[in-house]
Structure 1
Amino acid sequence: MRFQLQLDSKNRSPTIPINYQYPLSAAIYKILDKADSHYATFLHEEGYTVNGGLKHFKLFTFSDLKGRCKVNHDRLHINSTMELIVSFHLPEAAQHFVKGLFLSQDMDIADKKSKATFKVNSVEALSYPFAEIENKDKSTITVRAISACIAGIKNDKGEYDFIPPTDARFAFCIKHNWEQKLKALKIPFHENELKVAVNLKNTKPKSRLITVKAFTKQQTRIKGYLNFEMELTGNQEQLQVIYNAGAGLYNALGMGCLEVVK
């Protein structure tokens, strides 16, 4: 399920970190925690696992913030109402519950240098753009990322080497991550049933380097890409997972949020 939030600042001259993804993710967890601390703790500490392994999936993501803003070094000065899309892989029956969680809530976006508080003034539930696809059928949809999409392969140090969409391994990594999400959810698929193809015909991917946990000992950087399209093939249930939960790595930090290209 997917919602579009309208965020209005409660500050006169709101300023947020340009690397706002981690504090915004924390703000979303905080809202979830108010309603169901067990669910929020499960997402934050455990997530969904594959065969009890170390790989955890927190099956939600969110888009980049959209609105008028001015970049000043590592800060964003906000000049308008901001829009945010949040996406969860949850049963449709939970839609009204989740919508009610966010409406009129405050969201703090802050680091050690600045803080701004936003009120959620409206929450609009968005429909699935491919709801007509029957579960038994295989279909191909074209999507683009509305937040940086991250693919990576772990090196000898156990750290990710991030891969651009121009590298053939990018599609493989996105597909493998999608398959792991399906396994965690116990959604069946056959070998070679899912397909991911990167479309670079009329676009040049743009890289984005994002700092996570800035100004702390845990600070790290991740690298993702925007401005490209992918073709995804699967049945409706399978497609819903990657659409709801995001593509690639670090989805709960707002990475890999997708929209369907009309």
Structure 2
Amino acid sequence: MKFKITLECFGNYRTLPINYQYPLSAAIYKIIDQADKEYAEFLHREGYGKGYKFFSFSDLKAKFRIHGDRMILQFPIVSFFINFHLPEASQHFIKGLFQFRKISIADKNSKVDFEVKNIEALENPLKTAKPNEIIEANFKPQSPIVCGIKNDKKNYAFLEPGEEQFNESLIYNWRQKIEANYDVETADNALLISEIYFYGNNAARSRLITIKAGTPAKTKIRGFLNFKLRLRAEKRFVEILQNCGAGLYNAQGMGFLQPINTNAL
């Protein structure tokens, strides 16, 4: 379930941290947590069950200029896309959670206060296929996809698209998401195919992001943009990746997928 959220900043201060992903994630979690009891009761009443906090969101769409580690907004309106792995029937409830909310994006050095001016539900491009139908769908990341393998120190060695292990890591993580939404057997038996394509001769573009910047818990992660993914799987499994995001750190704004086209097989 995909939404476009439009924000308008109030006040004269328009300087965002360039590593805004974690603060934005925290603001989204705060909105969900404030409505958590009512949200959980709604889901229980409708019989939806697991996974209601699975979400992913895109980079901010805004006019800005970079100054050091800051983004200076040139216009008070910004927007982003957010996907929730929930049935369409919960659309109005989700819209109600975000409507007219205040969102602050801040770190120790900058803070911008926004109000949600609009939340628009967008059509699911996979809706015509049946849940168990094998489909092929093309996506491009609208935020960096992070894939990695943990080393002996339990830290991630980040991988680049084109490396064989990048695709293996992506599919492994995809199975984990299926297991979390279904069960181990379903995840183990799922047919999952992922292929990577680049734009002509252009290489994937790397981005280094700092999570929890300016704190003792800060973590640097590396993700990649500027390539396409072709996925082949049952519709219900493709939807999990579309809604929950590809790779790691999805709730921190990584791995948001924008569909290009879809074909039933």
Fold match, TM over 0.5?
yes
Q: Deviation string for 1:95-116 (max 9, x for gaps)?
A: 1111111111010000000100
Q: Distance in 2 between matches of 1:87 and 1:192?
A: 22
1:73 matches 2:68: yes
User: 1:138-188: per-residue Cα shift (whole Å, max 9, x none)?
Assistant: 111110000010000000001110000021111111111111110111163
Paired position in structure 2 for 1:44:
none
* TM superposition shift of 1:232: 0.5
Structure 1 residues 26-35 or 190-199, which shifts more? Answer: 190-199
Which residue does 1:248 correspond to in 2? 247
Within 5 Å, give how 1:13-52 maps onto structure 2: 13-36=13-36
- Does structure 2 conserve the Cα–Cα contact (< 8 Å) formed by 1:13 and 1:78? no
Separation in 2, partners of 1:37, 1:257: 27
* C-alpha contact 2:103 2:115 (8 A) present in aligned 1: yes
Q: Which is worse superposed, 60-69 or 6-15?
A: 6-15
Mapped to 2, the partners of 1:161 and 1:11 lie a distance apart of 41
Q: C-alpha deviations, 1:52-111, integer Å up to 9, x for none?
A: xxxxx9511100000101110000011221111111112222111111111110100000
Letter of the aligned partner of 1:70 in structure 2? R
Give how far 1:191 is off. Answer: 3.9
Distance in 2 (alpha carbons) for counterparts of 1:195 and 1:26: 32
Distance of 1:17 and 1:247 partners within structure 2: 24
Report the 3-state secondary structure (helix = DSSP H, G, I; strand = E; otherwise coil) of the residue aligned with 1:261.
strand
Work out whether 1:215 is the aligned partner of 2:210: no
Displacement of 1:242 = 0.4
Partner of 1:173: 169
Distance between the aligned counterparts of 2:217 and 2:119, measured in 1?
A: 33
Q: Which residue of 2 aligns with 1:239?
A: 238
| Residue deviations 1:177-210 (CA, integer Å, cap 9, x gap) | 1111101111635646110111125232000000
User: Bigger CA drift: 13-22 or 192-201?
Assistant: 192-201
Q: Is the 8 A contact 2:199 2:226 kept in 1?
A: no
1:92 aligns with 2:88: yes
Percent of aligned pairs sharing the same letter: 41
Aligned-partner SS, 1:67: coil
The Cα shift of 1:39 comes to 6.4
Please tell me whether the aligned partners of residues 163 and 170 of structure 1 are also in contact (alpha carbons under 8 angstroms): yes
Partner residue in 1 for 2:137: 141
* Matched AA of 2:9: S
The equivalent residue for 1:104 is: 100
Describe the shift of the 1:39–1:158 C-alpha distance in structure 2 as closer, same or farther (beyond 3 A).
farther
Distance in 1 (CA, whole Å) between partners of 2:142 and 2:203 is: 15
- Classify 1:8/1:206 alpha carbon distance in 2 versus 1 (closer, same or farther; 3 Å): same
Note the residue ranges of structure 2 that are not aligned, 5 or more in a row. 41-49
User: Which residue number in structure 2 is paired with residue 11 of structure 1?
Assistant: 11
How many residues of Structure 1 are paired with residues of Structure 2 in the alignment?
Answer: 248
Paired with 2:35 and 2:19, the residues of 1 have a C-alpha distance of 27
TM-score after normalising by structure 2 = 0.89
Q: RMSD of the alignment, in Å?
A: 1.9
Amino acid at match of 2:198: L
Question: What secondary structure sits across from 1:65 in the alignment?
Answer: coil
C-alpha distance 86-135 of structure 1, shift in aligned 2 (>3 A):
same
Gaps of 5+ in 1: 41-47, 50-56
